[in-house]
Amino acid sequence: MTTLQPKLILLFSGKRKSGKDYVTDLIQKRLGPDLCRTLTLSGPLKERYAHERGLDYEQLLGAGPYKEEYRADMIRWGESRRQQDPGVFCRLAVSAVTRPVWVVSDCRRMSDLQWFWTEYPQQCVSVRVEASERTRALRGWRFTAGVDDAESECGLDQGVDFDWILTNNGDANLLDQQLEGLLSLIKAKTQDSRDGIHQRGE
Ligand SMILES: Nc1ncnc2c1ncn2[C@@H]1O[C@H](COP(=O)(O)OP(=O)(O)OP(=O)(O)O)[C@@H](O)[C@H]1O
Ligand SMILES: C[C@@](O)(CCOP(=O)(O)O)CC(=O)O
């Protein structure tokens, strides 16, 4: 069970190769490990999927062809588990987090957002990372039927009024400006936690 209530939960989503990991890594580095913990919903999914299928979990966590080879089957496997229990991977992802700020880097479905909105109604901020298809293709994305036209990639395309939208087409200055705004919000919401860490000299 989670031992501490978070001060703030950033719920990131975005298309494949939009830069979710890149942006959340930047935020994690800016906030530091004492204040912030980055979580994925796909991590616990991949661990259980790999165990059940006898596959290499570490390679499923990677960015190479091995993960892409099993992506469609992982999606189907994950959706069958979510139909039984929509919050299953959300609960697993937050089960041992003790930091005040949680960055969930890979929300994909309305059920993901709804679980966090229900469990933590005051703490959630939804963030959409956007990149053009041209930019995504330059980063190695290729349209894959059964993946890019499935809920896994399209589940949050409509019906969400995101709190923040980050445009991430490679303009470092534009991204920095957008991140400064988001980081200001984070710091405003976590002043007491940051003071406590500072006082403890952590
Ligand atoms: N602003 C940026 N500047 C330079 N490189 C970037 C930028 N954004 C993303 N990248 C690079 O593009 C590639 C894809 O980014 P990333 O892995 O963060 O995408 P993602 O949305 O997490 O993709 P997936 O959903 O497939 O995991 C990575 O190699 C990353 O380093
Ligand atoms: C199966 C799945 O978790 C794979 C995600 O892999 P990644 O976040 O692109 O590394 C996507 C999904 O849950 O639909």
Q: How far is the CA of 75 from the centre of ligand 2 (A)?
A: 7
> So what's the pLDDT on residue 198?
72
**Contact predicate 97/141, CB 8 Å:** no
How far is the C-alpha of 163 from the C-alpha of 125, rounded, in Å?
6
User: Residue holding tokens 């390679």?
Assistant: 59
Nearest ligand, CA 136: 1
Domain that holds residue 84: 8-201
Q: What's the pLDDT at 3? A: 53
Over range 152-179, report the average pLDDT. Answer: 96
Cα of 53 from ligand 2 centre, angstroms = 16
- In a domain? residue 33: yes
Distance (Å) from CA 124 to ligand 2 centroid: 21
Residue 63: which CATH number?
Answer: 3.40.50.300
Q: Under 8 Å CB-to-CB from 162, ≥6 apart: which residues?
A: 126, 127, 128
Q: pLDDT digits over 8-65, tens only?
A: 999 999 999 999 999 999 999 999 999 999 999 999 999 999 999 999 999 999 988 9
65-85: per-residue pLDDT in tens? Answer: 999 999 999 999 999 999 999
Q: Is the CB of 11 within 6 Å of ligand 2?
A: no
Strands (E), 48-175: 101-104, 124-130, 164-167
What is the percent of the chain where pLDDT is above 70? 96
Name the β-bridge partners of 101: 8, 36
For a ligand 1 pocket test, name from 22, 107, 156, 174 the mutation site with the most ligand atoms within 8 angstroms of its C-beta.
Answer: 22
pLDDT at residue 4 is higher than 80: no
Please state the separation of Cα 136 from the chain's center in Å. 18
21 is in an annotated binding site: yes
Contacts of 200 (CB under 8 A, 6+ apart): none
Take atom 31 of ligand 1 and give the residue whose Cα is closest: 22
- So what's the pLDDT on residue 29? 96
- If one counts the domains in the chain, the total is 1
Beta bridge partners of 8: 101
| Cα separation of the two ends of the chain | 25
What is the reported pLDDT for 190?
85
Q: What is the pLDDT of residue 47?
A: 97
Q: Whose CA is nearest to atom 15 of ligand 1?
A: 19
145 pLDDT exceeds 80? yes
Q: Is residue 12 part of a domain?
A: yes
Q: How far apart are CA 160 and CA 114, in angstroms?
A: 11
Is 2 part of any domain?
no
C-alpha 89 to ligand 1 mean position (Å): 23
Rounded to 5 degrees, what angle do the CA atoms 185, 42, 4 make? 50
pLDDT band at residue 102 using 50, 70 and 90 as cut-offs: very high
Binding site annotation covers 67? no
Ligand 2 atom nearest the C-alpha of 105 is: 8
User: Alpha-carbon distance 58 to 60, whole Å?
Assistant: 5
Residue 59 CA, chain-centre distance (Å), reads 19
Residue 1 predicted with pLDDT over 70: no
- In this predicted structure, the answer to whether residue 129 has a pLDDT above a threshold of 70 is yes
Note whether residue 128 is domain-resident: yes
| Bridge partner residues of 164 (DSSP) | 127
C-alpha pair distances (Å), 35 with each of 13, 72, 95, 103, 197 = 21, 35, 17, 11, 8
Using 50, 70 and 90 to split pLDDT, how confident is the model at 169? very high
Answer yes or no: are the C-beta atoms of 10 and 101 closer than 8 Å: yes
* Closest ligand 1 atom to 171 CA: 1
pLDDT beyond 90 at 191: no
Pocket residue to mutate for ligand 2, from 18, 41, 42, most atoms within 8 A of Cβ: 42
